[in-house]
Amino acid sequence: MAMTDPDEWYFVYENRLASFQAPQPVAKRRGSNANSRAPKALTWPHKSLAPADVSLRCCLYGSWDVTNSFPTLQLAKAGFVFQPQPSGPDNVACFLCHKALDGWEEDDDPLAEHLKHAPNCGWAIVAAVEAEVGDFATLHPLDPKMIEARKATFAGKWPYESKKGFKCKTKQVGGLPYSHCRRRFVY
């Protein structure tokens, strides 16, 4: 499935995570024939804990930080969706900026890779602020880069943009301090 517009389905973290937990269709190569032996669907190829194991460990250990030991959680939190390709069985793509990355290694940090390869992706920037990554931890909420990043996370789908009587438009939401937006609006 090629992504052209942000899919509303993937705005939800659990839905991005689900893309790693079930076989996903492999994008067809150009010029392939019907007799191709390429698989029709692939599962996430890297070792990770099963979702049931994550729930069990959270119950047993309480505040166990699953994001450090469960790579698919980190990938989904960074905005990635599993989209295998014939040449990249571990290919992921950001649901918002559509940046595709593959060749994942055990010590890769999905958010850092997202920021490195798509430095203007609104989702990656906002996630970096939340995670207090590098200079993003000190980025002023009214910095133009932050305003544009917040606007981008709505992907033109702010439900009140065209509703009469609602004064809160993306123009105003983008200019609000980050902490104010987090309290009142869901990303």
DSSP state of 77: H
Q: Where are the beta strands (DSSP E) in the chain?
A: 24-25, 41-42, 80-82, 92-94, 100-101
- Output the pLDDT for position 134: 86
pLDDT in tens, 68-89: 445 889 999 999 999 999 889 9
Instruction: State yes or no: pLDDT of 175 exceeds 80.
Output: no
The whole-number pLDDT of residue 22 equals: 86
Report the C-alpha gap between 5 and 3 in whole angstroms: 6
26 — pLDDT class (breaks 50, 70, 90): confident
| CATH 1.10.1170.10 domain position(s) in the chain | 1-27+41-121
pLDDT at 46: 83
| CATH placement of domain 1-27+41-121 | 1.10.1170.10
